[in-house]
């Protein structure tokens, strides 16, 4: 007899069948981008979502509010490039006005952050992660297909000046491009007080070019960093995905996120909302729950909560990258929200 899965609980925290509770919401506020990172997008870009399909500010804030009511305590704005959403400051202010007020963070490529860091902080943004893979201008151009390194550096400085501390830098190492320079990037970040975290490249690019054997692993990054620095593991990682190391005894530290080679799916507390109002229980989910259409058809909060609970109840045990059944999601990272 096949076992019958019980229905999702009607109240309490936002649970899945493995007992994990969703508390960290990633919201993609746009799928558009002004860079073309090779591990993310093709050179020509992607067919962007038509505006009418995207959530309005009021719709987005209402859905975030419903999720906050279900126990979400951290909201991270991402994309695409979140700074390209013209109303981003208003979106942040709307989320900051929710009760209880969630912690509000953003992941950005930093282009345009020099102008926007202060107004975003004033609207309620608490923290920022800026993606920067190299401080070598030629490598930056090779990786992002745009000559915008100076803009990113200015954005980082503005974030620190606006008090969006600790400013974190996210980097992906690509074999034969920037993997030889990871120690330079760490020195540069330490000198400026930014916290660097390396993330393994995942199979989420629109072009489907990811290959397991070509990925620069967390172990390789650690090895390269130890050629220049003494790394001491920091205890008490808890459910955080980054393994943290003190650099040369501290206080500076570096994080390494082995999302592929040492997955942390068992501790996952994430849920995602796309710019067109689809709820995803995982970056790698092959299903989505459409929240936008019921919302536009006049659904009550209770009806939307039922759709959200049912989708979280479908969450799988893990991403399964490298297993025979693995299927890369149809949406690329830029349209899911990284």
Least distance (Å) between residue 313 CB and ligand SF4 = 30
∠ CA 326-327-330, rounded to 5°: 155
Residues that bind ligand SF4 (CB under 6 A): 33, 35-37, 40-41, 79-81, 109, 131, 334
Helix (H, G, I), strand (E, B) or coil at 196: strand
Least distance (Å) between residue 236 CB and ligand SF4 = 30
Contact of residue 36 among ligand SF4, ligand SAM, none (CB under 5-8 Å per partner type): ligand SF4
**Is 170 or 278 the residue whose CB approaches ligand SAM more closely?**
170
DSSP string computed for 41-65 = --TT---PPPGGGSPPHHHHHHHHH
Q: Which residue is nearest to ligand SAM (CB)?
A: 338
Rounded to 5, what percent of the chain is helix, strand, coil? 35, 15, 50
Least distance (Å) between residue 331 CB and ligand SAM = 11
Contact of residue 199 among ligand SAM, ligand SF4, none (CB under 5-8 Å per partner type): ligand SAM
Residue 15 to residues 22, 264, 270, 334, Cα–Cα distance (Å) = 7, 17, 11, 26
Choose among 291, 270, 272: nearest CA to 333: 272
Asked if 166 and 195 count as a contact pair (C-beta separation under 8 A), the reply is: yes
Choose among 150, 151, 247, 249: nearest CA to 196: 247
Contact of residue 41 among ligand SAM, ligand SF4, none (CB under 5-8 Å per partner type): ligand SF4
Residues that bind ligand SAM (CB under 6 A): 33, 39-40, 78-79, 81, 107-109, 131, 170, 172, 199, 201-202, 204-205, 333-334, 338
Contact of residue 143 among ligand SAM, ligand SF4, none (CB under 5-8 Å per partner type): none
Asked if 200 and 216 count as a contact pair (C-beta separation under 8 A), the reply is: yes
Contact of residue 134 among ligand SF4, ligand SAM, none (CB under 5-8 Å per partner type): none
């Amino acid at each position: 007899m096949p076992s019958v899965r019980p229905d999702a609980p009607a109240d309490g925290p936002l649970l899945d069948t493995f007992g994990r509770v969703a508390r960290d919401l990633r919201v993609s506020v746009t799928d558009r981008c002004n860079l073309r990172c090779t591990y993310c997008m093709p050179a020509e870009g992607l067919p962007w979502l038509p505006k009418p399909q995207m959530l309005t500010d009021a719709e987005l804030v209402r859905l975030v509010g419903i999720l906050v009511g279900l126990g979400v305590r951290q909201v991270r704005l991402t994309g695409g490039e979140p700074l390209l959403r013209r109303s981003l400051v208003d979106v942040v202010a709307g989320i900051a006005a929710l009760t209880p007020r969630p912690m509000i963070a953003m992941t950005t490529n930093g282009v345009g952050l020099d102008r926007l860091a202060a107004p975003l902080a004033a609207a309620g943004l608490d923290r920022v992660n800026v993606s920067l893979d190299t401080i070598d201008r030629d490598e930056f151009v090779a990786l992002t297909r745009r000559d915008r390194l100076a803009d990113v550096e200015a954005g980082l400085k503005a974030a620190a000046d606006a008090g969006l501390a600790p400013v974190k830098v996210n980097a992906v190492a690509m074999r034969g491009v920037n993997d030889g320079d990871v120690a330079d990037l760490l020195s540069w970040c330490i000198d400026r007080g930014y916290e660097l975290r390396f993330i393994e490249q995942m199979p989420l690019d629109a072009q489907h070019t990811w290959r397991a054997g070509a990925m620069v692993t967390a172990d390789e990054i650690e090895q390269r960093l130890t050629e220049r620095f003494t790394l001491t593991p920091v205890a008490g990682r808890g459910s955080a995905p980054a393994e943290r190391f003190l650099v040369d005894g501290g206080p500076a530290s570096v994080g390494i996120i082995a999302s592929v080679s040492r997955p942390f799916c068992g501790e996952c507390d994430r849920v995602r909302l796309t710019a067109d109002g689809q709820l995803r229980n995982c970056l790698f989910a092959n299903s989505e729950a459409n929240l936008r259409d019921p919302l536009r058809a006049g659904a009550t909060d209770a009806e939307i909560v039922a759709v959200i609970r049912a989708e979280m109840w479908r969450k799988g045990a893990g991403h399964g990258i490298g297993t025979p059944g693995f299927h890369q999601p149809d949406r690329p990272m830029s349209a899911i929200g990284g």
